Amino acid sequence: MKGISASPGVAIGRVFVLDRRNRRIFKTYIAEHEVESEVQRLRTAVQKAGEQIQAMLRSMPDELREHIAILETHQLMLKDSMILDKSIDMIQRKMVNAEWALDHSLNHVRRLFGHIQDTYIRERIHDVEDVVARIQDILSGTQGIPMEQHTNPVVVVAHDLSPADTIQLNRKNVLAFVTEMGSRTSHTAIIARSLGIPAVVAVAGVTKYVFTGEDIVVDGITGDIFIRPDEDIIAHYTDKQACYIQHRQAMLLQSHLPAVTADGFSVSVQANIELADELDVAIASGAEGVGLLRTEFLYVGRNDLPSEDELFQAYFECVKRMSPKPVTIRTLDVGGDKFLSSLPVSPQTNPALGLRAIRLCLKEIDLFFTQLRAIYRVSAFGKLRILFPLISGCSEIQQIKVHLNSVKEQLRAEGIPFDEDVKLGVMIEVPTAVMMADLLAKEVDFFSIGTNDLIQYSMAIDRVNEHVAHLYDPLHPGILRMIHRSAEAGRLQGIQVGMCGEMAGEPAYTPIMVGMELDEISMNADSIPKVKHIIRRCNAGLCRELVNRLLTACTSQEAREILEDFLGRYLPDERQLTHPYLCDAARH
């Protein structure tokens, strides 16, 4: 079976199926003289549940300390009047068993939460469900997650894992996670990656095919899983596991070293981040700066716009913690796939081509000024650059510069210090920006090629549309030529050229980045050690030849064959890093 690889690594072991959906709660009427003892039974179970959570809090490994708040919230929910008092009341008035009374209280809370508009708060219902399930497990004598008792480590297979499930599983006993739900960005995936445990998500129907105690092989690199594997498969994956572990240790040891090719070409490898919380992981992975700080997070999930001071605080936090390494702040990019309740725009039939990103900022000028003022104020405290999204040509950058001058004048008049020489850059993601790259390069200090939108706009493909998504291809020769053209225009003008799209974080494409002579590439933190490793194994001269050959390719298929030939010939030992790409390509 196959799913999405969510955290790399190979695991071979026994299955433990964690399935809460099959819990059956029966309604039982109790006699009047039993009411008191039933209430006591519930209180004892709640008490025990509290002790269990307390024990987990005490044994929480350091890597997960930031998630402690989830369990502390569970402690409060456990004794909440809406759960405990309501259930006791139900036992007393309706003379039913504690399990049923709890179910009734939970359904009441579910109804109330269902009306909450804020998704973050509404999803806390899963925490309430977790807490109630824990009490019910104690009442019924079954243990929800008896992982603590498992002496042998297991592969946890589940329909879905809540954040609380994932963090409370004793990680020493978990070899891997396999779930039916989830994506690369779901909580299980993020935690699995931070713990270095292999995980495969989105494996349809897996809980129906596998039972607790059976053998399983999980390949978190490719997303393959094998239930009841034969000896050959086990032997093959035992080898693969050993290679992977050796490989990863070598990579992590070197992640702080600069990424320089065998023949001396160096690339600055940086991190794409959204929250200051991600900085620790980025720095630990060897990021040489933040190549893309997405700022949309500061705006979504609220009814008003953030103030200048709030933005200042958020940017300051990142710049301070990253110092002396640079942070590239991208101005607000909403309107395409993210929308703000604080700034309603009339419905657009095609939002990707509508009022979004820089267009929205240039129209709602207060929105733009607040960001620019906050960014310039932070510039006095560390090294930062500003990146403008969705630039289609020189006129936008000229308009932006007029506004920048007003902002600087304001700050000077107010006596607020700032860096006069903040570097300005544009995203290269609209096809006309590629065509104008030679002239744009005279207006700005750096380019950042955003491949996700560049591919979508230039190939006229909506990635979310299942009928055409398979045509989306970074190896389309037209795309490679656009990247090449932009990089060359920047180089001729002597400005820095980088890439921050998904393509930048894919190790199989790294030789192309080197061959295009990009100055910097920015990606999710977990790709950084892999990409740095590949760069060190590359020879820039050979990579330039690779690019020259790719530029002559007629079709994506031809380009793919040229790349695979290169990887097989010059990077055969790095197959485990480039292999997921090869598997994806095979699926196309």
Partner 1 sequence: MSNEIHVTIENRLGLHARPAARFSQLASRFASNIRLIKDGKQVDAKSILEVLTLACPTGTRLTIAAEGPDELEALTALQVLIETGFAEYD
Residue 436 in tokens: 């104008």
Shortest Å, Cβ 331 to partner 1: 19
Of 254 and 313, CB closest to partner 1 = 313
Least CB distance to partner 1 at residue 191 (A): 17
**Which residues touch 552 (CB under 8 Å, ≥6 apart)?**
none
∠ CA 143-146-149 to the nearest 5 degrees?
130
Pairing of strands 154-158, 266-273: unpaired
Q: Considering the rule CB under 8 A, would residue 77 count as an interface residue with partner 1?
A: yes
CB 72, min distance to partner 1, A: 7
Distance of CA 377 to the CA centre of its chain: 29
Listed ranges 41-49, 81-89, 148-156, 433-441: which one lies at the site for partner 1 (CB under 8 A): 81-89
Q: Binding residue for partner 1 (CB under 8 A) from 274, 304, 565, 573?
A: 304
245 with 495: CB under 8 angstroms?
no
Asked if 343 interacts with partner 1 (CB under 8 A), we say no
Question: In angstroms, rounded to a whole number, what is the distance separating the alpha carbons of residues 213 and 454?
Answer: 48
Q: Does residue 116 touch partner 1 according to CB under 8 A?
A: yes
Pick the binder of partner 1 from 313, 458, 493, 539 (CB under 8 A): 313
3 or 306: CB nearest partner 1: 306
For residues 114 and 103, give the distance between their C-alpha atoms in angstroms, rounded to a whole number: 16
Calculate the CA dihedral of residues 452, 454, 457, 462 and round it to 10 degrees.
-10
CB-based contacts of 272, cutoff 8 Å, min separation 6: 290, 291, 292, 294, 500, 505, 522, 523, 524
500 part of the active site: yes
Out of 55, 76, 204, 439, name the contact with partner 1 by CB under 8 A: 76
Minimum distance from residue 71 beta carbon to partner 1 (Å): 11
Q: For residue 229, is it left (φ>0), alpha (ψ between -120 and 50) or beta? A: beta
| Residues 6, 193 contacting (CB under 8 angstroms) | yes
Q: Is 68 a binder of partner 1 (CB under 8 A)?
A: no
Contact set for partner 1, span 117-156 (CB under 8 A): 117-118, 120-121, 124, 127-128
Q: Which of 74, 187, 476, 533 is catalytic?
A: 187
From 500, 533, 538, 543, active-site residue: 500
Interface pick for partner 1 out of 80, 462, 561, 584 (rule CB under 8 A): 80
Q: Is 383 exposed, middle or buried (0-12, 13-18, 19+ CB in 10 A)?
A: middle
Which residues in 135-148 are b (16+ Cβ under 10 Å) and which e? bbbbbbeeebbebe
What's the min distance (Å) between Cβ of 367 and partner 1? 17
Distance CA 557, CA 282 (A): 34
Using the rule CB under 8 A, is 280 a contact of partner 1?
A: no
Among 213, 301, 417, 478, binds partner 1 (CB under 8 A): 301
Q: Which is nearer to partner 1, 114 or 347 (CB)?
A: 114
Neighbouring residues of 104: CB distance < 8 A, sequence distance ≥ 6: 86, 87, 90
Minimum CB distance to partner 1 smaller for 302 or for 401: 302
| Binding-residue total with partner 1 (CB under 8 A) | 30
CA nearest to 271, candidates 258, 256, 288, 255: 288
With beta carbons less than 8 A apart as the criterion, state whether 38 and 88 touch: no
Q: How far is the CB of 44 from partner 1 (least distance, A)?
A: 21
- Report if residue 306 touches partner 1, rule: CB under 8 A: yes
339 binds partner 1 (CB under 8 A): no
Whichever of 128 and 489 has its CB closer to partner 1, that residue is: 128
List of residues contacting partner 1 (CB under 8 A): 69, 72-73, 76-77, 80-83, 109, 112-113, 115-118, 120-121, 124, 127-128, 298, 301-304, 306, 310, 313, 317
Active site residues: 187, 500
